[in-house]
Structure 1
Amino acid sequence: MKNIFIKTAVVGLLALGMSSCSDDLNISSIDPHSSPSYDLNELLAKQYATLGLTGQQGGAGKPDLSMDEGESAFYRTVFNLQDMPSDECLWAWQGDTDVPAITNLSWTSSSTRANWCYSRLAYDVTLYNQFITKEAENAGPQVTAEVRFLRALHYYYFLDLFHKAPFKDKFDTSLPVEKSGKDLYDWIDQELTEIEPQLAEIGSYDDSKNFGRADQGAAYALHAQLALNSAVYTDGKVKDYQKAKDYCDKIINSGKYALSTQAKNGWTGYEQLFMGDNDQNQQAMKEIIFPIRQDGNSTEEYGGSTFLVSSTCGAGMPYRNINNYWTCYFAREDLVKKFFPTAANIPHATEKQVKDYTGTTESQVIAYDDSLGVSTKDVQKKAGDDRALFYMGVGGGYRTLNPGKTISGFLNGASIVKWTNYRTDGGARHNDTYSDTDIPLFRLGVIYLTRAEAEWRLGDDDNAIKDINVLRARAHANTIASVDKQTLIDEWCRETFFEGRRRSDLVRFGEFTGSSYLWDFKGGVAGGTGVDSHYNVYPIPAIDIAGNPNMTQNPGY
Structure 2
Amino acid sequence: MKFKYIKSIVSAALFLSLTTGMTSCINDLDISPIDPQMTATFDQDMYFTKLYASLGLTGQKLSEDPDIAVKDEGQSCFYRALFTNNEYGTDEMIWTWQENAGIPELTYMRWNSSHQQTEILYNRLAYNITLCNFFLDQIAGKEDATSVQQRAEARFLRSLFYYYLMDTFGKAPFTEHFSKENPPQKTASELFAYIESELESIENDMSEPRQAPFGRADKAACWLLRARLYLNAEVYTGQPRWNDAITYAGKVLDPSNGYGLCGNYEQLFMADNDENPDAKKEIILSIRQDGVQAKSYGGSYFLIAATQKSDMPNRGTNDPWECIRTRKALVDKFFANSEDIPFTEYTDNKWQNVRDVQAAAKDERALFYTTGRKAELESVGKFTDGLSFMKWSNLRSDGQPAHDAKIPDTDIPFFRLAEAYLIRAEAYLRAGDANAQQNAWLDIKALRDRAKATEIPSANNLTLDYILDERARELYLEGFRRTDLIRYGYFTSSTYLWDWKGGSFEGNGVSSIYNLYPIPKTETLTNTNMTQNPGY
- TM-score, with normalisation over the residues of structure 1? 0.88
Which secondary structure state, in structure 2, belongs to the residue aligned with residue 115 of structure 1? helix
| Contact 1:86/1:512, CA 8 A, preserved across alignment | yes
Distance apart, 1:462 and its partner CA: 1.4
Between the aligned partners of 1:137 and 1:456, the Cα distance in structure 2 is: 45
The answer for the alignment partner of 1:20 in structure 2 is none
| Aligned-partner Cα distance in 2 for 1:198–1:433 | 39
User: What's the counterpart of residue 51 of structure 1?
Assistant: 55
Give the C-alpha shift of residue 261 in structure 1. Answer: 4.4
Counterparts in 2 of 1:269-348, with a 5 A limit? 269-348=264-343
Structure 2 CA distance, aligned partners of 1:84 and 1:112?
Answer: 14
- Quote the residue 2:370 is aligned against: 392
Cα distance in 2 for partners of 1:12, 1:441 equals 25
| Identity percentage of aligned residues | 42
Deviation at 1:171, TM superposition (A): 1.2
CA contact (8 A) 2:31 2:294 kept: no
Give the corresponding residue for 1:461.
Answer: 437
Match of 2:139, SS state, is: helix
Once structures 1 and 2 are overlaid, which stretch shifts more, 536-545 or 470-479?
Answer: 470-479
RMSD of aligned Cα (Å): 1.7
Contact persistence 1:161–1:538 (CA under 8 A): yes
Matched, 1:542 2:521: yes
Task: Find the counterpart in structure 1 of residue 45 from structure 2.
Answer: 41
Residue aligned with 2:281, SS: helix
User: 2:126 matched to 1:100?
Assistant: no
Q: Are positions 1:424 and 2:397 aligned together?
A: yes
| Corresponding residue for residue 13 of structure 2 | none
Task: Name the CA distance, whole Å, in 2 between partners of 1:250 and 1:531.
Answer: 38
Shift of 1:403: 3.0
Deviates more, 1:544-553 or 1:163-172: 163-172
- Give runs of aligned pairs for residues 65-464 of structure 1, distance below 5 A: 65-67=68-70, 68-138=72-142, 140-205=147-212, 210-234=213-237, 236=238, 238-262=239-263, 269-349=264-344, 364-366=348-350, 370=352, 375-393=353-371, 398-404=372-378, 406-459=379-432, 460-464=436-440
- Cα distance in 1 between the residues matched to 2:40 and 2:184: 34
Which residues of 2 match residues 464-479 of structure 1 at below 5 A? 464-477=440-453, 478-479=455-456
Confirm or deny: 8 A CA contact 1:319 1:417 kept in the other structure: no
**TM superposition shift of 1:247:** 0.8
1:527: Cα distance to partner?
A: 1.0
Moved more, 508-517 or 38-47: 38-47
* C-alpha separation in 2, matches of 1:95 and 1:425: 40
Whether the 8 Å CA contact 1:12–1:42 is kept in 2: the answer is no
- Structure 1 pair 260–272 and aligned structure 2 pair: CA distance change class (3 A): farther
Could you tell me how far apart the structure 1 residues matched to 2:32 and 2:121 are? 20
Question: 1:26: which partner in 2?
Answer: none
- AA matched with 1:437: T
Q: Give the counterpart letter for 1:90 in structure 2.
A: I
Q: Residue 232 of structure 1: CA displacement?
A: 0.4
Whether 1:3 and 2:23 are equivalent positions in the alignment is yes
**1:463/1:451 CA distance change after superposition, 3 Å:** same
Does residue 30 (structure 1) correspond to residue 36 (structure 2)? The answer is yes
Does the CA-based 8 Å contact 2:31-2:293 persist in structure 1? no
CA 1:11/1:47 → structure 2, altered by over 3 Å: closer, same or farther? farther
Q: Helix, strand or coil for the counterpart of 1:5?
A: coil
The 8 Å contact of residues 11 and 42 in structure 1, kept in 2 or not, is answered as no
Find the aligned partners of 1:286 and 1:365 in 2 and give their Cα distance.
31
- Report if the CA contact (8 A) 2:24-2:215 is conserved: no
CA contact (8 A) 1:10 1:46 kept: no
The one-letter code matched in structure 2 to 1:378 is D
Cα separation, 1, equivalents of 2:29 and 2:392: 25
Q: Deviations over 1:394-417 (max 9, x none)?
A: xxxx2122331x412211110011
**What stretches of structure 1 of length at least 5 have no aligned partner?**
15-28, 263-268
**Residues 421 and 437 of structure 1 are in contact (CA less than 8 Å); yes or no, is this contact kept in structure 2?**
yes
Match of 1:18 in 2: none
For residues 11 and 317 of structure 1, the distance between their equivalents in structure 2, rounded to whole angstroms, comes to 33
Q: Partner of 2:532 in structure 1?
A: 553
Residue 179 of structure 1 aligns to a residue in which SS? strand
Structure 1 position 215, deviation (Å)? 1.0
1:337 is displaced (CA, Å) by 0.3
1:337 is paired with a residue whose SS is: helix
Q: Deviations over 1:449-479 (max 9, x none)?
A: 1111111111112101111111111111123
CA distance in 2, matches of 1:35, 1:427: 41
Q: Summarize the Cα distance change of 1:82–1:8 in structure 2 as closer, same or farther, 3 Å threshold.
A: same
Q: How many equivalent residue pairs?
A: 506
Please say if residues 220 and 247 of structure 1, whose CA atoms lie closer than 8 Å, have aligned partners that are also in contact.
yes
**TM-score, length of structure 2 as denominator length:** 0.91
- 1:319 shift after superposition: 4.2
Take 2:41 and 2:222, find their aligned partners in 1: how far apart are those partners? 32
Displacement after TM superposition at 1:10 (Å): 5.2
Contact 1:168 1:177 in 2 (8 A): yes
CA contact 1:452–1:463 (8 Å) conserved in 2: yes
Separation in 2, partners of 1:442, 1:183: 24
The counterpart of 1:532, out of the listed 491, 511, 514, is 511
SS at match of 2:303: helix
Q: 1:522 maps to which residue? A: 501
SS in 2 for 1:479: coil
8 Å CA contact retained: 2:210, 2:259: no
Deviations 1:315-337 (A, max 9, x none): 12114111111110000011000
Q: Which region of structure 1 is more displaced relative to structure 2, 40-49 or 117-126?
A: 40-49
Q: Summarize deviations over 1:92-119 as a string: whole Å, max 9, x none.
A: 1010011000001111111100000000
Note closer, same or farther for the CA distance 1:259–1:377 as it changes in structure 2 (3 Å cut): farther
Question: Given residue 227 of structure 1, which amino acid in structure 2 is its aligned partner?
Answer: Y
Amino acid at match of 2:28: T
**CA deviation map 1:501-554 (0-9, x unaligned):** 101001001111110000111111111011111111111001110010010100
Q: What is the identity, as a one-letter code, of the residue corresponding to 1:466?
A: L
Q: Summarize deviations over 1:353-384 as a string: whole Å, max 9, x none.
A: 6xxx8x5xxxx242xx74xxxx1111111111
Name the SS of the counterpart of 2:298 in structure 1.
coil
